[in-house]
Amino acid sequence: MTASADIADRLAALIAAEGPIPIERFMAESNTHYYATRTSVGAAGDFITAPEISQMFGELIGLSLADLWDRAGRPDVAYVEMGPGRGTLAADAFRAMAVVGLRPPVHFVETSPLLRSHQREHFPDATWHDTIGTLPTDVPLLIVANEFFDALPVRQLVHTFSGWRERMVGYGPDGFAPVPGTAPRDDKVAEHLRDAALGSIVEDNPAARRLARALARRIAGQGGALIAFDYGHKGGSHGDTLQAVHAHAYADPFARPGMSDLTAHVDFGALRRAGVSGGARGFGPVDQGQWLVALGLSDRAAALGRTAPDRADEIAIAYRRLTHPDEMGSLFKVMALAAPGWPDPAGFA
C-alpha cells in the first residue's frame, strides 16, 4: 500500500466511523501527511516560493531584520523561521545580515524530517522545534514566516437553504467530496455577510489566529518582531479559496489527500488583529511588490546585473515575478508585528 493510499484509507475509515469531518480537519490531516513525506518546494517538488525565484528576496528580508536590530541597539537576538522549506530564504538572509555583523543563533520551527535534512545542509548548528513552545525565552526573537500561514487548516461555512452550516468532507463511491454539516452555524458568520447569496462560502482560520496571538505574546514579552509573507487579502471578504497544488499545477483539493499541498488565502486583517490582541504592534499588510521596492529591490537587482551581466535577463524576470501586479506583487502581502518599545519595521510607511 502506498503512503497516499494509506492516508486516504485512514480518512475514509474516519468518515465511515464518525460521519463527515470538517474541512479544517481534512486539511490538517492531509497537510501533516504531505509535509512529512514529500520535499514539496522547488522544481522537483510541487511549487516554487519567492526564495527559490531569486536570492534577492531573502537578502532583503535579512537586511530588513538587520536594520531593525541595529535601530533597536544591536541586542542579542535569535533568528526564528516558521516552516523554512529547504533553508534557502534563511541562507540568503544570513548572507545579507552578516555584512552588518548580525549572526544570531538559528531556530527552525519544522516538523518534516525530509525538510529538516535540507535545512541542515545550510545550518548544521540550527536548533529545530516542533512547536513555538520550545523557542528561546531569554532574548528578543526575529521571526520570519514565508508562505506558512496559508497551509494552516481553514474552517469553511456555507450558506444553505437551512442557513449557515459548516462545510464538511464526506466519502462515497466517487471519493471525497464537500458536503454541508447539519448543525446551525449562523452565529459564526459576521453580520454583514449573513445575507450573502445561497452557496456563498465564508472562511476562518482559528489556527492562524491562535498562532499569531501566541507569537505576539512572545514578542511583546521578549522583544523582537515578526514579518509574514503570504498570498491573501486584507479581510472582510468571502469566498472559497481552498486550493491544491500538485506538480506545479492546480488540482482538486479532495482528490488525493496527502499528495497535494492544500492552502487557503490568508486573512491578514484577522492575523494583525490577533497579533495586536497578543500585545504586539501591527504593521500592514502591504503588497509584497510595494514592500520589496521600498526596501531597495530595484537597487539590488541593478547591482546584481552589473556583477553578472550574463544573468541580466534572469534577474529581470525574477524582479517582475516578485513585484508585478500580474505575478506575485499584489496577490502576496506582507505584515509585521513588533514589540512595544522596538523600532517600526521598514517598508510599511
d(C-alpha 25, C-alpha 169), whole Å: 9
Please tell me the predicted confidence (pLDDT) of residue 40.
55
C-alpha 230 chain-centroid distance: 5
* Average pLDDT of the residues in 309-338: 94
* pLDDT tens column, 238-271: 789 999 987 767 889 999 898 888 999 999 999 9
* Average pLDDT of the residues in 121-126: 96
* Average pLDDT of the residues in 28-47: 73
* Average pLDDT of the residues in 319-348: 96
* Contacts for 13 with CB less than 8 Å, ≥ 6 apart: none
Confidence of residue 1 (pLDDT cuts 50, 70, 90): very low
d(C-alpha 211, C-alpha 146), whole Å: 14
* pLDDT tens column, 144-201: 999 999 999 999 999 999 999 999 999 999 999 999 999 999 999 989 899 999 999 9
Cis ω before 22 (30° cut-off from 0): no
Burial class (CB in 10 A: 0-12, 13-18, 19+), 278: buried
d(C-alpha 251, C-alpha 71), whole Å: 45
Average pLDDT, the chain: 93
Is there a contact between 14 and 20 (Cβ–Cβ < 8 Å)? no
Higher-scoring residue by pLDDT: 254, 38: 254
Give me 295's grid cell. 526596501
To the nearest whole percent, how much of the chain has pLDDT over 70?
96
Question: What is the DSSP pairing of strand 163-172 with strand 155-160?
Answer: antiparallel
Please tell me the predicted confidence (pLDDT) of residue 47.
58
d(C-alpha 72, C-alpha 59), whole Å: 20
Please tell me the predicted confidence (pLDDT) of residue 37.
82
* Average pLDDT of the residues in 11-35: 95
* Average pLDDT of the residues in 320-334: 94
Q: Using the predicted structure, report yes or no on whether residue 48 has a pLDDT greater than 90.
A: no
* Average pLDDT of the residues in 58-80: 98
Confidence of residue 298 (pLDDT cuts 50, 70, 90): very high
- Domains belonging to the chain, first-starting first, are 36-153+204-338 (3.40.50.12710)
* Average pLDDT of the residues in 114-123: 94
Please tell me the predicted confidence (pLDDT) of residue 5.
65
Please tell me the predicted confidence (pLDDT) of residue 19.
97
Closest CA to 344 of 227, 213, 232, 209: 227
Please tell me the predicted confidence (pLDDT) of residue 6.
87
Please tell me the predicted confidence (pLDDT) of residue 2.
47
Please tell me the predicted confidence (pLDDT) of residue 218.
98
Please tell me the predicted confidence (pLDDT) of residue 286.
97
Window from 8-22, 40-54, 173-187 with minimum mean pLDDT: 40-54
* pLDDT tens column, 200-249: 999 999 999 999 999 999 999 999 999 999 999 987 777 899 999 877 67
